[in-house]
Structure formats: structure tokens, C-alpha cells
Amino acid sequence: MSTGPTVSVIMSVYNGEKYTPEAVESILAQTFGDFEFILIDDGSTDGSKAILENYANRDPRVRLISRPNKGLTKTLNEGLGLARGDFLARMDADDISLPQRFEKQVAFLREHPECVCVGARVLRVDPYGSPLSESDHKLTHEEIDHQLMEEGLGWAITHPVAMMRREPVATVGGYREQFKTSQDLDLWLRLAEVGRLANLPEILLKYRYHPESVGFTKFEEQRRVKSIILQDAYARRGRTPPPAWPKAIFTPLPIGEQLRRWARAALKANNRDVAKKHAVAALKREPLKIDSWRIALRVFVLG
């Protein structure tokens, strides 16, 4: 057991000034307070560094590192090397952890020593935080491992809501730095070979969709990398891969259609101001598209 805090929170920030304050505040507001918050400014060129410095000056639990850009995977391994807690909590700079996240995850890991990593269900939200849908994550090790192996579904445990035991993560070697994307899928597969995985049934994170996220900007690279990761996993386990995989590749919608869908979801959630923002953005992007005018008419006139 470590002599440091119970939990080490690891968050990388690269040009994240738009959403970082909400993400940081959600960690500092956790009902379970025995943690260190390792914030690594990965060479940001916007106002992220100043935002993080403000939090570091305000809360002694914050450990801020700022240096030139190295990329997410190397930054996560740097955070692992700095961590002193028995448990490692991931967090992303564009998401929001709900207040009882750490309390519930620490309790689960203490009650289930065979579990090396636990996630949770999440609420999908749009760029403004308006709700889209609730996830239906599988809960058991067998179901999660099946999704990882058969579908290449790194989402089987959502990365920014994962909490892991530090020692097993060290045993499997942390994140493999040759993977710039889908590093979570690769880590979950290797952790599943030394212990058990789980998700809590509660929603413990607001997972933000926005056009600048990796899922929107690097989905083609994810497809290539997942094939390599799965080939390695099948080889380690002495199994023959299925004839066609990976199946679970997120392919984003064209941005105009995505904006219109977000507008409809915001209307459903009675967030009319947010719906107006999406409708205007859709019109600006695709002014000749009849669907853009239809959603604008619905938002501004019909209600």
C-alpha cells in the first residue's frame, strides 16, 4: 500500500481552455477528497496553462506540470510515473465527473480486490452540456471483455471515468506509447489478462461530444490502430481472430447533420437557447440544405 493519497487523478490538457474549468471543478468537488490531482499541461498554446496555474495556487491537492507537447499517450504515462495513490482515476479536460464518482468507485474496488479497473455508465452531452442520452454500459467482466475482443470497443469502459489499481497498471507496463489513439482499448485488454474489469450501473460522468474531440478528428486512425491492438491481444491469448473486425468503430456524422441532431436533442431537453445555437451553426455551415432551414423553423418559430 502507498503512503500517499488514496487516489491519484491523471488529466492531460492540450489547448483545453473552453472546457477545462468545468472538468477541474468537478474533480475538486468530489465527496471523496483523499486524492492528488496530477494536471499536465501538454504544451498548450491557448489560455489553459493560466487556468491550471490558478487551480494549483488554490488547492494543495493539485500537482501541476507544464512542459512542451508530447502527446496524450506519453503524457498519461508521465502521470502514471508521478502517481502515489493506490488507485488511478482518469479524467479528460472536456468531461464532467459527478460528485460521488470517486466515493463509489473506491468503495467498489475495496470490496472487490479481484477487480483491477472499474468504470461507470455516463450521460452523453453536447458541446454546451445539454443531455443527449444515457449509456447502457455492460457491467460484468465477461461482457466487457467480450466487447473488447469481439468488437474492439474501447468504449466498453469509458476512459475518462475509469479508476484502476496502480500496481496492475504498472505490471502490464502502462500505456503503450506506439499508440496515439485507442490507447484505452489496448490497456483494458492487457488489464483483463491480469484481473477483472467492471462498470458501475450509476451514471458518474458527463461525457461531452464536440467537433474537436478525438472521436471526430481521428476516427480513421483509430480504425487502423484498433486492428493492430486486437491482433496483439488475440496473439497473446492464443486465439484466432474473427474473420471481420473491429466492428465497433465510431464514424462521426457530417458536422451539419450532427449540429441538427444536437438541436433536436436540446429541444427535447427543453434547452431552447442551446437548440438555437446549434440551429444557427447548422445554417451557417450548410445554408443551402433544406434540413438546416427545417430545424431553424422548428427552433425559432414552431417551438
pLDDT of residue 217: 56
Q: Is residue 241 part of a domain?
A: no
Query: Each residue of 175-193: pLDDT tens digit?
Result: 999 999 899 999 999 999 9
Domain boundary, last residue among 236, 269, 284: 236
Mean predicted confidence (pLDDT) in 84-109? 98
Regarding whether 147 and 91 lie in a shared domain, the answer is yes
- pLDDT band for 218, please (50, 70, 90 cuts): low
Regarding whether 28 and 116 lie in a shared domain, the answer is yes
The residue among 87, 54, 59, 66 whose CA lies nearest residue 12 is 66
Range of the domain at 291: 255-302
Three cell numbers at 222? 483509430
pLDDT above 70 (res 38): yes
Three cell numbers at 109? 474496488
- pLDDT band for 151, please (50, 70, 90 cuts): confident
pLDDT above 60 (res 2): no
Q: Is residue 250 part of a domain?
A: no
Q: Is residue 11 part of a domain?
A: yes
Regarding whether 192 and 284 lie in a shared domain, the answer is no
Mean predicted confidence (pLDDT) in 96-116? 98
Distance, in Å, from the CA atom of 9 to the CA atom of 76, rounded to the nearest integer, reads 11
The whole-model pTM stands at 0.91
Regarding whether 129 and 34 lie in a shared domain, the answer is yes
Burial class (CB in 10 A: 0-12, 13-18, 19+), 57: exposed
Regarding whether 280 and 133 lie in a shared domain, the answer is no
Regarding whether 277 and 219 lie in a shared domain, the answer is no
Mean predicted confidence (pLDDT) in 202-208? 97
pLDDT above 60 (res 88): yes
Mean predicted confidence (pLDDT) in 114-140? 96
Who wins on pLDDT, 282 or 248?
A: 282
Distance, in Å, from the CA atom of 92 to the CA atom of 258, rounded to the nearest integer, reads 22
Query: Each residue of 57-82: pLDDT tens digit?
Result: 999 999 999 999 999 999 999 999 99
pLDDT of residue 30: 98
Q: What is the mean pLDDT of the chain?
A: 92
Report how many domains make up the chain. 2
Could you tell me where the DSSP H helices lie in the chain? 20-28, 48-58, 72-82, 101-111, 141-151, 166-171, 183-191, 214-217, 219-236, 255-268, 272-285, 290-297
Q: Is residue 283 part of a domain?
A: yes
In eight-state DSSP terms, residue 284 is H
Regarding whether 280 and 208 lie in a shared domain, the answer is no
pLDDT of residue 91: 97
Q: Is residue 249 part of a domain?
A: no
